[in-house]
Copies of this chain bind each other. A is one copy, B any other.
Amino acid sequence: MSEERGSQSVRAVRGSAIRDLLAVTERPDVLSLAGGLPAPELLPTARVARATQAALASPAALQYGVTTGAPSLREIVHTRESAKLGRDAGTVIITHGSQQALSLLAQALLDPGDTVIVEDPGYIGALQAFDTTRARVVGVPLDSGGMRIDELRPLLQREQVRIVHTVSNFHNPGGATMTVERRRELAELADEFGFWIIEDDPYGELRFAGPTVPPVAAFSDRVIRLSSASKIVAPGLRVGWMHGDPAVLALVERLKQGADLCGSSLTQAVAAELLADSAWIDDHIQTIRAVYGERALALHTALTDAFGDRLHLTAPEGGMFLWGEFADGTVTSARLRDAVAAGVAYVPGSAFAVHRDLGHALRLCFTTSGPDELREAVRRLATVL
């Protein structure tokens, strides 16, 4: 008990550290790589405006909706998810961003004494959602091939593991994508030990290099997949979803009634129209990939030029973040104040640590700055790191 409380207060501090950083990003003189927002110039305001007008032709867009979400949106999400899995399986619930999906799954699946496995470094939203339960949160190291399944295996013998949470593609903050072999192994372990995998996949469609990998859910029915319209359309719609086992989703539906009754009929109607307009959404995602790919490359190249072998970087194949680890013991949190004074911001690795010492690491977001700004940001970084 005291252990969990301890980790909660550590995380509360982390949370405010990041909030303070985000406050810094408002200053026009700071080039911030500390955020985690989609590029604002790619947010499709005109297309959303058109879809909103169409939706508002009916008062249904302003009325209460059903708890599971607008049927048209559930259908298009189900079609898209089935295509990814290569089979028709599971059901869909629309959630208030995929953060709500995480929070409801934590409530639905975890009892006191259960263990939930997260990656280390971990996605902060998942840590926050699991922290509000009385379950034990245990981290398994992440490397460039994703979660270390060899380190997960012995934990399954020792602990009552109920959930394994993974950001399988372009990890936040780790940048890594889980290899196909590990996906298959993880899925087999879920079938063997009876835990649920939460495959948290907000970035999977933002691949700008390398071959697509099948989702973990392609290998087992014990996977609940989470994603959202936030990174491919817009976060401001707050449209996320979960896809998977109907019995688990029925539990979630009951909890969602108590949590918020239903989502916004208006933003769900907009999301349904945009996702169903396959010419538009395919083209739009292609644009995001091209822009993010160019930015990731610019940042990666500039960092390699500036730091050489001192800084180990994830290879940028998609998503929104690069993860770097200094090989020479540079402590990133100790340098943050100087960095901000030099006009650049990042998130120190320690903010994402579950058990590991990640004091020499940092997360850099490449989505909200152009190539020239990213190069200038690295120039400033090099003066303090």
* Residues of A that sit less than 8 Å from B by CB: 12, 15, 37-38, 40-41, 43-46, 48-49, 52-53, 56-65, 96-97, 99-100, 103, 107, 125, 128-129, 131-132, 230, 234-238, 254-255, 257-267
Contacts and interface: CB of A to CB of B under 8 A. Distances in A.
B37 A64 contact: yes
A45 B61 contact: yes
Smallest CB-CB A-B distances: 3 pairs:
A62-B234, A62-B236, A128-B258
B254 A266 contact: no
Given A131-B258, A132-B255, A132-B258, A235 B99 contact: no
Given A56-B49, A267-B267, A259 B63 contact: no
Contacts of A37: 63-64
A235 B62 contact: yes
A208 to B, nearest CB: 22
A335 B49 CA distance: 48
A238 B263 contact: yes
Nearest to A67: B19
Contact of A128 (B45, B52, B100, B257): B257
B45 A56 contact: yes
Given A12-B254, A59-B41, A128-B257, A65 B236 contact: yes
A137 to B, nearest CB: 12
Most chain-B CB neighbours within 10 Å: which of A37, A38, A56, A259?
A259
29 contacts: A15-B254, A15-B257, A43-B59, A45-B58, A45-B62, A46-B56, A48-B62, A49-B52, A49-B53, A52-B53, A62-B234, A62-B237, A63-B235, A63-B236, A64-B230, A96-B96, A96-B238, A100-B259, A100-B260, A103-B259, A125-B258, A131-B258, A236-B264, A236-B266, A237-B264, A237-B266, A238-B262, A259-B259, A264-B267
